[in-house]
């Protein structure tokens, strides 16, 4: 692994020098004693990964949120449901839906057999309802191909509908204690700041970022993967609670004194690192969401009345029709004769 990276020159005096530990080897690698002061100021060093692991894992053990899918008694299925619900949806909104879901469908086979209309209604307004369809399809695949159990390897998980690189690794790690490389938006940001020195990781997950994530994984030999899983969970939690996208709380960050981004003077995000939102008003996603909101309220409705009643004055008749047809094509809605409903309702 590259041990020292030459980054942008510091734009302001480091404010954390006084707080850096004096224990030998516990701070960012110091510049060689022979370097001049000018040369030293021009260098920013990446932190020692093992020290960051220890600090962040220790922090996690004290400050981690008490989330139900982290409980020791939570089933692999509970972990998997949480991971799918958490795809692009904040924890606080997932919590109540997850509790209801697990109460209602405590095993994969229970969801596999449920009417799709009920599944979509229970999904409520978590967003991206295709996730609910795929989760049910995944449950059906588990019944058919895995004896109704959640697969215990990332490779097998990856074959399930709606399970991508992140979710496969996360379920394998958090449900089965396997040392997979878990990389979500929080972890990408923590890596970008602490190790790369960037304000934000950027929109796309690059091969360089994946390589860094692999290199940062703790060795698995000593404990069979326990530290690796702890690192995954801890880095994610740090990104969610402290190293946030908007206003990171560096004052209480356990690795503030080791952070490459801080050492570089906390530069603002570059143009390249800006994410740019997708837009919402006027999009098909908004119209589709409005249609789904009506369908979730109950029985079949006349197609024309449904489309007319949408609370979106800006949406043209063409857009409304196109969106309903796309929902039907996605399996999120069904039409018999002129009446529309959730599928199977």
Partner DNA sequence: AAAGCGGGGTC
Partner DNA sequence: GACCCAGCTTT
Please state, as a whole number, how many other Cβ atoms lie within 10 Å of the Cβ of residue 216: 21
Distance, in Å, from the CA atom of 180 to the CA atom of 273, rounded to the nearest integer, reads 27
- Contact call for residue 274 and DNA (CB under 7 A): yes
Among 47, 49, 78, 129, binds DNA (CB under 7 A): 129
Q: Is 63 in the site for DNA (CB under 7 A)?
A: no
CB 122 within 8 A of CB 100: yes
Q: Round to whole Å and give the CA distance between 332 and 133.
A: 8
Q: Which two tokens stand for residue 236?
A: 């994610």
Identify which of residues 119 and 168 has a Cβ nearer to DNA in the complex: 168
Mark 41-60 with x for binding to DNA (rule: CB under 7 A) and - for no binding: --------------------
Query: Distance between CA 287 and CA 224 in Å, rounded?
Result: 49
280: contact with DNA by CB under 7 A: yes
The pair of structure tokens assigned to 329 is 């094509």
Binding to DNA by residue 246, rule CB under 7 A?
yes
- The sign of the CA dihedral 277, 280, 282, 286 is positive
- Distance of closest approach, residue 50 Cβ to DNA, in angstroms: 24
Q: Which residue among the candidates 61, 83, 118, 308 is catalytic per the annotation?
A: 83
Task: Copy the structure tokens of residue 315.
Answer: 């949406």
Coil, strand or helix at 135:
helix
Q: Identify whether 73 is a catalytic site residue.
A: no
- In angstroms, give the least distance from the CB of 293 to DNA: 6
The per-residue b/e assignment along 117-128, b for 16 or more CB within 10 angstroms, e otherwise, is bbbbbbbbebbb
- Separation of alpha carbons 145 and 230, rounded Å: 30
244 binds DNA (CB under 7 A): yes
Q: Would you say 194 and 261 are in contact if contact means Cβ atoms under 8 Å apart?
A: yes
How many positions of this chain bind DNA (CB under 7 A)?
Answer: 64
For DNA, the closer of residues 40 and 125 by Cβ is 125
Q: Cβ 299 to DNA, closest distance in Å?
A: 18
Q: Which residues make beta-bridge pairs with 341?
A: 334
Min separation Cβ 310 and DNA, Å:
11
Residue 290 lies near DNA (rule: CB under 7 A): yes
CA contacts within 13 A on the Cβ side of 251: 2
Dig out the tokens for 19 from the structure: 């707080």
Comparing CB distances to DNA, the nearer of 198 and 237 is: 237
Considering the complex, state which of residue 237 and residue 257 has its C-beta at the smaller distance from DNA. Answer: 237
| Contact call for residue 275 and DNA (CB under 7 A) | yes
Asked if 286 interacts with DNA (CB under 7 A), we say yes
- Give 14 or 119: the residue with its C-beta nearer to DNA: 119
Q: How far is the CB of 40 from DNA (least distance, A)?
A: 32
Out of 326, 328, 335, 341, which residue is the one contacting DNA (CB under 7 A)? 326
Spatial contact of 282 and 314, defined as CB atoms under 8 Å apart: yes
To the nearest whole angstrom, how small is the minimum distance from the Cβ of residue 204 to DNA? 5
- Tell the smallest beta-carbon distance from residue 17 to DNA (Å): 29
CB atoms within 10 A of CB 80: 28
Residues in contact with DNA, shown as a per-residue x/- string from 149 to 188 under the rule CB under 7 A: ------------xxxxxxxx-x-------------xxx--
Report the alpha-carbon distance of residue 289 to residue 300 in Å, rounded: 17
Question: Which residues participate in catalysis according to the annotation?
Answer: 83
The site for DNA (CB under 7 A) is made up of 67, 69-70, 82-83, 86-93, 125-130, 134, 161-168, 170, 184-186, 189, 200, 203-204, 206, 236-237, 239-240, 244-247, 274-281, 283-286, 288-290, 292-293, 326, 332
């Amino acid at each position: 692994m590259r041990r020292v990276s030459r980054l942008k020159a510091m734009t302001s005096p480091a404010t954390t020098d006084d707080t850096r530990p004096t224990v030998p080897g516990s701070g960012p690698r110091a510049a060689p004693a022979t370097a001049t002061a000018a040369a030293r100021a021009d260098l920013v060093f990446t932190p020692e990964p093992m020290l960051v692991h220890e600090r962040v894992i220790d922090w996690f053990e004290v400050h981690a949120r008490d989330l139900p899918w982290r409980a020791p008694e939570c089933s692999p299925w509970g972990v998997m449901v949480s991971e799918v619900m958490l795809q692009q949806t904040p924890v606080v909104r997932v919590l109540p839906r997850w509790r209801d879901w697990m109460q209602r469908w405590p095993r994969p086979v229970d969801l596999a057999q449920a009417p799709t209309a009920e599944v979509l209604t229970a999904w409520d307004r978590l967003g991206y309802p295709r996730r609910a369809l795929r989760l049910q399809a995944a449950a059906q695949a588990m019944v058919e191909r895995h004896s109704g159990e959640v697969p215990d390897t990332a490779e097998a998980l990856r074959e399930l509908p709606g399970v991508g690189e992140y979710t496969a690794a996360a379920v394998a790690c958090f449900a089965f204690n396997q040392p997979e490389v878990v990389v979500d938006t929080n972890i990408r940001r923590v890596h970008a700041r602490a190790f790369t020195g960037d304000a934000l990781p950027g929109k796309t997950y690059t091969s360089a970022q994946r390589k860094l994530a692999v290199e940062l994984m703790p060795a698995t030999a000593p404990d069979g993967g326990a530290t690796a899983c702890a690192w995954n969970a801890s880095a994610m939690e740090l990104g969610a609670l402290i190293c946030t996208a908007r206003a990171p709380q560096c004052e209480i960050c356990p690795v503030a004194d080791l952070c490459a981004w801080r050492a570089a003077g906390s530069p603002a995000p570059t143009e390249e690192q800006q994410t740019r939102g997708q837009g919402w008003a006027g999009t098909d996603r908004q119209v589709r969401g409005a249609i789904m909101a009506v369908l979730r309220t109950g029985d079949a409705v006349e197609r024309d009345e449904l489309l007319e009643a949408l609370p979106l004055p800006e949406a043209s008749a063409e857009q409304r029709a196109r969106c309903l047809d796309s929902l039907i094509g996605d399996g999120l809605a069904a039409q018999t004769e002129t009446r529309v409903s959730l599928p199977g309702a």
